[in-house]
Amino acid sequence: MKLIGIQPLRGFTKKHADAKAQIESWEAETSIAQWNTPHELKLRYPKASILKGQYVIFNICRNKYRLWVKISYKNQIVLIKKIGTHKEYEKWNII
């Protein structure tokens, strides 16, 4: 998968150092993944939330943080929408 818009992840890990290793691991795994369906993604990330419109929410650091992405399975692209604390996530207008 091609990752687009990863800059927010860099800023986030500077503020939340405890998330750095997990975010870097997620980036590395995602960049070599070849998910063709949401089901394939769920096999690797069973706690990810699959939403309408190709949106996915990943739990980071045991649900302390949330990563919102949009995935084009056909084009093999993952677009980073937002990353934030669980409290910030509750205020996001998703979909």
The verdict on residue 94 lying in a domain is: no
pTM above 0.95, yes or no: no
43: phi then psi, degrees, rounded to nearest 5: -65, -35
Domain that holds residue 60: 2-89
- Coil, helix or strand at residue 81: strand
The verdict on residue 85 lying in a domain is: yes
Assess contact for 12 and 85: CB atoms under 8 A: no
**Rounded percentage of the chain residues whose pLDDT exceeds 70:** 99
pLDDT for position 93: 86
CATH number at residue 84: 3.30.2310
Assess contact for 44 and 50: CB atoms under 8 A: no
- Answer yes or no: is pLDDT of 95 > 80: no
Render pLDDT for 35-80 as a digit per residue (tens, 0 to 9): 999 999 999 999 999 998 799 999 999 999 999 999 999 999 999 9
The verdict on residue 49 lying in a domain is: yes
State how many domains the chain has.
1
Mean pLDDT of the region 82-89:
94
